[in-house]
Chains A and B, each alone.
Chain A
Amino acid sequence: MAHEILAATNAVVTLDVALPGIVWPWLVTVNMWAKSIGTGVILMLFMLIRMHPDSVKNLRLPTAVVAFIFINIFLLFTLADLHQPFRMWHIFVYSSFSSAIAWGSLMATVFLGLLVILAFLAYKKNNETFDKVLVWTTILAIPVTLYTAALMAQCTARELWQMPTEAAQMILAATLSGSAAMILLGGSKLSDEAKNTLGVVLGLSALMAFIIYMSEYIFGPMKAEEVAAVLDYIKGDGPYAVMFWLGQWIAYLLPMLLILLSRASKSESILKLAAILALVGLAIVKHVWLMIPQLLPMS
């Protein structure tokens, strides 16, 4: 409605205060990216233990350590993004449970604790207890990875971020980056079947995520003019158009093609290249989606 009257009114803002710049900067991109890897590798380890137990005999400790490192990166960048980082403890003392931030912080802290236990158990080679604790860690990995979607959905100002799509994208980001990280971590230690399974997970995650982004790209503007205005930033010569397509190609399209190629040629190097591209591309995709709603003036 507002857009249609513009030509008639020729309304121009002639005096206003400067608008706020980017509120959540690249630090939040790293936060989401690292969390996807940290939770994703746990989801993949759980799957591999069930499907290809022989392949993952030596992967328990490295996976727990990688998850621990990436969850710490996630927490570190969350902290760095706070304007009052030394008050972080307020979240635990004055928690408001209507906020996804409070839930996320609490769950991520418990998740980190479970990762420490997993690493210790793996170090002690206590596989039986490890696998039991892994079940709970895997269950918790799901809400930990989802909470950012809830947080984005709570940003009432940003119409683009809707819970159903963001939740799906968060889970797919975890399976995409988790499978990619496991391919790189497992390397030649993985059996051909395990590599195949991870390749399928990576390829399907890329396909699903790409379909969702394209659906939003094409159909989003048909539902809300605010969404249309935001998506203009990735269309035509919009400021994030090049980055958007670069991300889609690197994170999704190229890895899908490379996985098909690696299955045909049984090449581990091509599979690894797909994994590296998926990890790099995911950061670009997440960054674009985080930035574009912040470019729209709110008032």
Chain B
Amino acid sequence: MQLGFLVDLHLCMGCKGCEIACKVENEVPLSTWRLRVKYVDVGTFPETKRTFTPLRCNHCENAPCERICPVSALHYLENGIVNIDKERCIGCAGCVMACPYGAIYIDPQTQTADKCTYCAHRVASSMMPACVVACPVQANIFGDLEDPTSNISKYIQVNQSNIQVRKPEKGTNPHHFYVNGGNVALNPLASHRIEGHSLFNKITTLPVGGHH
């Protein structure tokens, strides 16, 4: 079994339901996120368009975070999930430095690394990840990539000419795919990030783990 995710960006409407569901399900502390939806505006008024991209851990097949962890706190489960053992983590932040997707954070409450686990605890009880359940338009598709009859495999078959992963050049082999994603949605270098400007706040950076 190899669990994977796929997000159809054509369906996503940026409601952030998945983001909130994840926060609640995993009790993700303030100032940290396992899953977030990024908005990027393209074009010049009045010819503008807004893109929405849910971003989470890619559960890479060749995960730099797992490789750099000195104590195997980050480890693979048999179903392909890259999981974390917070009791073992020493908080060296090597994984935060290694992940090319900014998917890991230091939990300010436990001072250990944490990230999306594809809701491994729910999956173990045959439930879908919380974000999948919350999505009102079924933009999040989750399932076994090794089973050709699973929803995710079928989706990939149908859209095979239009499947993307983030930063393929890093050689991480993500198990997280996007359909209808462009450079602007998936590559952070393809958009401006103007200091202090976002829709609702002016906070651009937060200290890692709440200190240092």
| Per-residue B-contact encoding for A219-238, CB less than 8 Å = 1, 0 else | 00000011001000000000
Q: Which of A20, A90, A154 contacts B102 (CB 8 A)?
A: A20
Given known A91-B90, A95-B71, A155-B97, contact A14–B189 (CB-CB < 8 A): no
A18 to B195 alpha-carbon distance, docked (Å): 11
The stretch from B2-10, B120-128, B202-210 touching chain A is: B202-210
| Interface pick from B135-143, B156-164, B180-188 | B180-188
Q: Does A265 make an interface contact (CB < 8 A)?
A: no
A101 contacts across to B, CB distance below 8 A: 68, 70, 92, 94
Contacts of A18 in B (CB 8 A): 31, 201, 203-206
Also in contact, A6 and B96, with CB within 8 A (given A21-B208, A82-B90, A105-B70): no
Which single member of A2, A25, A90 contacts B71 (CB below 8 Å)?
Answer: A90
Chain A, interface size: which category? Answer: 35 or more
Query: How many residue-residue contacts, CB under 8 A, span A and B?
Result: 200
Q: Is the CB of A21 within 8 A of B90?
A: no
Taking CB atoms, residues of chain B closer than 8 Å to A11 are 40-42, 184, 190-192
B145 on interface, CB distance cutoff 8 Å: no
Q: Tell whether A102 is near chain B: CB-to-CB under 8 Å.
A: yes
> Are the C-beta atoms of A14 and B98 separated by less than 8 Å?
no
Which of A9, A158, A296 has the largest count of B CB atoms less than 10 A from its CB? A9
Q: List 6 A-B contacts (CB under 8 A).
A: A9-B43, A11-B42, A81-B212, A82-B91, A155-B94, A298-B99
Q: List B residues at the A interface (Cβ < 8 Å).
A: 31, 33, 36-44, 50, 55, 64, 66-72, 88-94, 96-103, 105-106, 111-112, 166, 170-172, 183-184, 187-194, 197-201, 203-209, 212
